[in-house]
Amino acid sequence: MMNAPSKPTLFSGIQPSGLLTIGGYIGALRNWVRLQHEYDCLFCIVDLHAITVRQDPPRFTERCLSFAAQYIALGIDPEAATIFLQSHVPAHAELTWLLNCHAYMGELARMTQFKDKTRGAKEQAIGVGLFDYPVLMAADILLYQTKLVPVGADQKQHLELTRDLAVRMNHAYGPLFTVPEAFIPEVGARVMSLQEPTRKMSKSDENANNSIALIETPDVIRRKIRRAVTDATLGITYAPDTRPGVANLLTILGALTDRAPAALAASYADQGNAALKNDVADALIAFLEPFQARYHALMDDREALHAILRRGAERARHRAAPTLRRVYDAMGFWRGEQREET
């Protein structure tokens, strides 16, 4: 066994399946930045997850590097945290198989994200990878004896499945895994689509007007926010159930300015949607412009970026090995000479 790290472990990842959005930032990445010094952190670009839908290979390669640069430009310190690509650590795929053999079709079929993503599709056309996505996610987390997983609200159900699998395996084979906990933020756990504010903002949404990408230009940000769907009620109030569009704008502004959405609403007294939208666009641009400058500088220095990812992969492989070995051993796999080596 390697030495236990002195701080509890935090793991989180995002799949490079589209453009990183302000939803992913507010729901997940912002908390990575905040928690990175309290925990021993691993931040992953979960590229294996992204191929549950077909990717264009050259664009996919570039997007994986771009995600790493965005993590760093948002404030993740690559000296303190381990930043890496999931496919660089084969243990993720290996543990997935071991967990697959302990997961049930019924529990995977109940996953809301699977149901949402396959609604209306013929069974013959639904990829096995999409079905198995939560088991790969469980492997990602359990491999590092993770204590905390900061995610948006949509991932809560997957986290519960991860916990169930950890408990099941521990019960069957003795203590193998730390049972992880989700960290879900109070504000911004579910940033909504700009055009359909009863749906979540998603990075792979086909309608680009539904989301704000972190690498969006200021004029596009202004245009998208100006066109965001609100309602005809006079004044600004925070009422997510009856005024989802306005509530979503208040959530975004609140997250960027560290204020509670309801308190923000009160500060608008009898001003209208135009004033609120103007302030949301200003806050987004003020936040994203310096981020984008850092991001472009990182993307222009490929050698440095590659070195960060190589180092991250080495550290992650080293961290993952003892847990994988322990699972194989507990299940009775004969490891031959390898046992002597490790």
In the bound state with ligand AQP, the residue whose beta carbon lies nearer, of 156 and 223, is 156
Q: What track of x and - describes contact with ligand AQP for positions 116 through 155 (by CB under 6 A)?
A: -----------------------------------xx-xx
Q: Are 312 and 78 in contact (CB under 8 A)?
A: yes
197 sits near ligand AQP (criterion: CB under 6 A):
no
From the candidates 7, 115, 117, 277, which is the catalytic residue? 117
254 sits near ligand AQP (criterion: CB under 6 A):
no
In the bound state with ligand AQP, the residue whose beta carbon lies nearer, of 152 and 312, is 152
210 sits near ligand AQP (criterion: CB under 6 A):
no
In degrees, to the nearest 5, what angle opens at C-alpha 47 toward C-alphas 41 and 53?
140
Is 156 one of the annotated active-site residues of the chain? no
Closest CA to 137 of 22, 204, 49: 49
Q: Which residue is nearest to ligand AQP (CB)?
A: 27
63 sits near ligand AQP (criterion: CB under 6 A):
no
In the bound state with ligand AQP, the residue whose beta carbon lies nearer, of 111 and 281, is 111
Long-range (24+ apart) CB contacts under 8 A made by 200-205 are 200/23, 200/154, 201/21, 201/22, 201/23, 202/18, 202/21, 202/23, 203/17, 203/18, 203/19, 203/20, 203/21, 203/23, 203/24, 204/17, 204/18, 204/53, 205/18
Give the pairing of strands 9-14 and 181-183: unpaired
In the bound state with ligand AQP, the residue whose beta carbon lies nearer, of 44 and 327, is 44
Query: Could you tell me the end-to-end alpha-carbon distance of the chain, in angstroms, rounded to an integer?
Result: 9
Residues 275 and 287: their CA atoms lie apart, in Å, by 18
**Among positions 23, 197, 244, 254, the unique one binding ligand AQP when judged by CB under 6 A:** 23
**Among positions 98, 165, 191, 212, the unique one binding ligand AQP when judged by CB under 6 A:** 191
Is 277 one of the annotated active-site residues of the chain? no
In the bound state with ligand AQP, the residue whose beta carbon lies nearer, of 31 and 176, is 31
294 sits near ligand AQP (criterion: CB under 6 A):
no
Active-site annotation, residues:
117, 200, 203
Residue ranges that bind ligand AQP, judged by CB under 6 A: 14-15, 17-18, 23-24, 26-28, 46, 151-152, 154-155, 189-191, 200-204
